[in-house]
Amino acid sequence: MRRSLPLSCWVRAAGLMLCLSQSAVAVFLSNSTRLDSILDKYKGKDGEWWRARSRGKRAISEEDKHLILDLHNKLRGQVYPPASNMEYMLWDYELERSAENWAHACRWEHGPSHMLTQIGQNLGTHWGRDRPPTYHVQAWYDEVRYYSYPYSQECNPHCPFRCSGPVCTHYTQLVWATSNRIGCAINTCYNMNVWGMIWTKAVYLVCNYSPPGNWWGHAPYKYGTPCSACPASYGGGCQNNLCYKDGGVERHPAPETEENNYIEPEPVRDREPQPRDRTPDLSPNENTEGNQVASTEQMSQQVECETKLRDQCKGTTCNRYECPPGCFERPGKVVGTSYYDMQSSVCGAGLHSGVINDDGGWLDVTRLGRKQLFTKSYKNGVQSIGKNRSANSFKVESVPVKAIRCDTTVAHFCPFKKPVRHCPRLYCPKNCLHDSRARVIGTKYYTDKSSICRAAIHAGVIRSESGGYLDVMPVDTRRQYSGSYQNGINSESLLNPTGGKAFRVFAVI
């Protein structure tokens, strides 16, 4: 039988984030006595299982390695409907090394791209409260609630992929019957970009699988009596509903050629089926060589939990701030409700207003001028105090995110006005470089009739082949805009424009 192409990029961005957020409410399946004993190893004196022990200099500690491997095999053995060919999983140190290399790259995406046809991959990350790696493994498995197993009568010849939730492919990779080797790594990444949010201290888990799962048109395993369809290489061995080779300690078993989760013969096809969610190839004439520039200048500012807006925003335009995790324990002084005294902590006001939580995050600040009275209140776990004297004030708001097109301009989307207002954080699509309809006028400062995304490519804030997030700041009219050639884009010059405003673009890193 001919195999279809492996699914090399099979988790959408939104799915990744949603998977992580759902894991916070994940529940363990019944009959989990052994799982409880696994998680007990993480409990401290106070019984909190999420306080993971410190790790050594290896990509992953021996303890974490066994926890991940044991939980994988437990979950693989309890799938429903039952699997007749589910193989016992072994640890592979080559996969561990490849996972370590990617974990140290600190990029919240699947990779490296040249390996994605050879391995399967699941990713997990968190910040703030410590959690063991099994937290993410269980979250991957809990996607089972959205997945509908395709029985053989539905596979004619290809099995449908039915997922009623945001993502199911973490689960299907975890329980892919023929993926019998795993290697994982854990790394702490500082200032990691997780889809536009900068996590100051992200714990990043990468697990690589071989042979890869998530093959187009196939079910993750065969339905039937456990171990009734094991490959011959297992010699009839079965343990906890898994095909098991006696003395199964081999770390680099040879791949079995017959193990394809075969369901029915496929007819001869003119071409191989294509994987879901395939990343588009770059334009063949895309050339960004020559006069390359890159900008890491950010509009937003990182602050500490107790930082007062008065100290951070004196004499300057207040814009966008990033608060670290853990500020509930040290929110600083908060004066007021709904609007706050300038002596208040930026992050404390964000917590009190409900704009951020204890995981930290981004918020926008707007100065409101003098207020005569500040009222006290207890909101969202933070007690604010009152004040009966006139003082300058501010308010906090969440940072919205909007996706735009290659030709979107500031003039139409977020023009400069007084008083100055905040623009949403923007997301540009891929491959805006060659959209010749969208003009770029200026360098560093651009006219508001310029394409936002192409200006961001020109400024080196994003790359055309990947797109990405950026912040934009509308500003007043400038008398002169200088053209230049940068990153494959020729921007135009303009002198003494009549009407119109300007803007700048900033990186989100």
Angular region, 227: left φ>0, alpha ψ -120 to 50, beta rest: left
Question: Which residues have CB under 8 Å from 14's CB, separation 6+?
Answer: 166
Q: Is residue 202 within a helix (H) or strand (E), and if so which, with residue range?
A: strand 197-210
Q: Is 315's pLDDT higher than 60?
A: no
DSSP 278: P
Per-residue three-class SS string for 113-172: HHHCCCCEEEEEEECCCCCCCHHHHHHHHHHHHHEECCCHHHCCCCCCCEECCCCCHHHH
User: Worst-scoring range by mean pLDDT, 6-15, 169-178, 180-189?
Assistant: 6-15
Extended beta strands in 254-338, E state = 301-302, 320-323, 336-337
Band of pLDDT at residue 291, cut at 50, 70 and 90? low
- Of residues 422 and 507, more confidence is placed in 507
Same fold for the pair 57-243 and 401-507? no
Distance, in Å, from the CA atom of 355 to the CA atom of 304, rounded to the nearest integer, reads: 16
Please report, in angstroms and rounded to a whole number, the separation of the first and last CA atoms in the chain. Answer: 46
Distance, in Å, from the CA atom of 361 to the CA atom of 355, rounded to the nearest integer, reads: 9
pTM over cut 0.75: no
The bridge status of strand 197-210 relative to strand 147-148 is unpaired
What pLDDT score does 437 carry? 81
What pLDDT score does 300 carry? 82
Give the residue-averaged pLDDT of 426-449: 90
> Is omega for the bond preceding 133 within 30 degrees of 0, making it cis?
no
Q: Is 70's pLDDT higher than 90?
A: yes
What pLDDT score does 318 carry? 66
Q: Is 432's pLDDT higher than 50?
A: yes
User: Worst-scoring range by mean pLDDT, 19-23, 81-85, 442-446?
Assistant: 19-23
Give the residue-averaged pLDDT of 240-256: 62
Q: Dig out the tokens for 267 from the structure.
A: 């007819």
Extended beta strands in 272-311, E state = 301-302
Give the residue-averaged pLDDT of 81-89: 95
Q: Is residue 74 within a helix (H) or strand (E), and if so which, with residue range?
A: helix 62-76
Spans of all domains in the chain: 57-243, 301-398, 401-507
Q: Is 284's pLDDT higher than 60?
A: no
Q: Give the pLDDT confidence of 117-143 residue by residue, as tens digits.
A: 899 999 999 887 678 889 999 999 999
- Architecture of 301-398 per CATH? Beta Complex (2.170)
What pLDDT score does 499 carry? 75
Q: Which CATH superfamily is domain 401-507 in?
A: LCCL-like domain (2.170.130.20)
Give the residue-averaged pLDDT of 205-232: 93
Band of pLDDT at residue 391, cut at 50, 70 and 90? very high
Q: Decide: helix, strand or coil at residue 20.
A: helix
Band of pLDDT at residue 317, cut at 50, 70 and 90? low
Q: Is residue 80 within a helix (H) or strand (E), and if so which, with residue range?
A: none
Q: Give the pLDDT confidence of 470-499 residue by residue, as tens digits.
A: 899 888 888 899 999 888 999 999 988 887
CB 186 within 8 A of CB 103: yes
Band of pLDDT at residue 316, cut at 50, 70 and 90? very low
Q: Is 445's pLDDT higher than 70?
A: yes
Q: Is 49's pLDDT higher than 70?
A: no
What pLDDT score does 420 carry? 65
One CATH from 3.40.33.10, 3.30.470.20, 3.60.15.10, 3.30.70.20 for 57-243: 3.40.33.10
Q: Give the pLDDT confidence of 86-123 residue by residue, as tens digits.
A: 999 999 999 999 999 999 999 999 999 889 889 999 99
Distance, in Å, from the CA atom of 442 to the CA atom of 135, rounded to the nearest integer, reads: 49
